[in-house]
Every structure is written in structure tokens, then in C-alpha cells.
Amino acid sequence: MSALLAFEGVSLVLGGTRLLDQVDLAIEASDRVAILADSGAGKSWLLRLAIGLARPGSGTVRLMGTAMEDAAPDTRRLLRARCGVAMQGGSLLGDLSVEENMRLAIGSSDRRAGRRIDRLLLDYGLEQSAATRADALSIGERRRAELARAFVRDPELLVLDEPFEGAFARADMLEAQVRRRIVPQGRALLLLTQDRALAGQLCERVYRLERGRLIQQDAAVTVPDATS
């Protein structure tokens, strides 16, 4: 079976800085992988490459077995739709309510979709904010809404970039979702973060991105999480 996501000898140089240097990484069904990186090390670019929003300088990124740089825009969109993505900085539409953002992401207005949305809103403590415009949410609510939306299409691959940045950490909530919706379903998680404790809590494989190289870490090392 091919990997859900594979980086094969991927390099990327931006502004004279080598952000990725011959990176190899394969994420298979049921994998939970974290990449730890300091601010500016290239997490957001890694996410863009993973879902075909950017092309590598060299090497190949395969999403669900398809080389993204050779794929037609429609194919890239379809493959991206099989992923649940929460980008740093967020991408909720500010003039739509939380529920409308979820509806747009799930692409259906039937009752089953409605039940799934209600369940996720409840899981993420957003049931009181369902009708609130996204641009009126608190920072913490917005991050939780981003996470809830990332799960709404039952993604095969969940890609999260700093899921709690600027927000009071609710790692227990995310861990419960990952345990319920990712692990038993043969889905996979790629977490990009600076938070060592979160990486250890959610993932069984942990790397550090350092000067463009991925260096595997001991996933079992746990750091007391002062925020939870």
C-alpha cells in the first residue's frame, strides 16, 4: 500500500535559505507523526508542499500516491479535499458563521452532515458559538473551530500547523478526537509544531526540522505541559 503522504528527496530554498534539504518522509495509514521546528524553520512551507499549494525546488511530494507537482489543478484539489487541514493563521471565512464554515467544508446540507457538524461543535465546546460569525470569535474559539472544521469531512490525512497558537491549549480535546477519529479508522496525522509536549502527547513518531533536515527524536520523551 502506498503512503498517504510521501516526501521523496524534497528540497526547498527560499530567499537563499535552504528550508528543506533532501527530506524523505512517509506517512502511512494510522501513523501519527510530529515535526518539531522553531519559528521560521519552514513548517508552513512544509504544509503547503504536503497539500500541493507549493512546488518543491527538487524532489517529489506524493499525496495519496499522486505526485502533486505533475498533477492537474483539479486532481490536486480533489486530493486536498481528502485531507483535513488547519493552517497557522487560520482560514475560516470571517463573514460566515461557524456552522456555515463547517457546511461549506463538508459540502453537503443533508441531515447526516448536520449531525456530524453538531457533534463536532459539541466536542469542541462550540455549540453556543455555532451562529457566531467567524470574525467575531475569540482566538481560542477560532482555533477550536479550525480544528473542528479539519475533521468535518472525515479526512484520510489530518495536517495541523500549530493547532493552539495564541490560544489556551485544549490538547485533551484534540487528543480525544485523534484517538476516536484517526487511530481506529486507519487515518493519519501530521502535526507541525514547536510544542514538544503536544507532539509527545499526540504522536508516536517525532522529528525535529533542523537546517532543512529531519532528525528523528525519541517520541516517548515527555515534557510537563504547563498549559494543560
Q: Which is nearer to ligand ATP, 21 or 118 (CB)?
A: 21
Q: Exposed/middle/buried for 209, CB within 10 Å: 0-12, 13-18, 19+?
A: buried
Q: Which is nearer to ligand ATP, 57 or 107 (CB)?
A: 57
Contact between 43 and ligand ATP per CB under 6 A:
yes
Do residues 89 and 146 lie in contact, with contact meaning Cβ atoms separated by under 8 Å?
no
Rounded distance between C-alpha atoms, residue 116 and residue 111, angstroms: 9
| Listed ranges 39-47, 60-68, 75-83, 91-99: which one lies at the site for ligand ATP (CB under 6 A) | 39-47
- 25: Cβ–Cβ under 8 A, 6 or more apart, which residues? 5, 6, 7, 33, 207, 214
Rounded distance between C-alpha atoms, residue 91 and residue 77, angstroms: 16
- 177: Cβ–Cβ under 8 A, 6 or more apart, which residues? 123, 147, 151
CB atoms within 10 A of CB 136: 12
Contact between 143 and ligand ATP per CB under 6 A:
no
Q: Which is nearer to ligand ATP, 12 or 106 (CB)?
A: 12
Contact between 41 and ligand ATP per CB under 6 A:
yes
Q: Which is nearer to ligand ATP, 53 or 64 (CB)?
A: 53
Residue carrying the nine cell digits 453538531: 118
Among 1, 40, 72, 131, interactor with ligand ATP by CB under 6 A: 40
Contact between 200 and ligand ATP per CB under 6 A:
no
Q: How far is the CB of 52 from ligand ATP (least distance, A)?
A: 16
Among 3, 19, 33, 190, interactor with ligand ATP by CB under 6 A: 19
List of residues contacting ligand ATP (CB under 6 A): 14-15, 19, 37, 39-45, 88
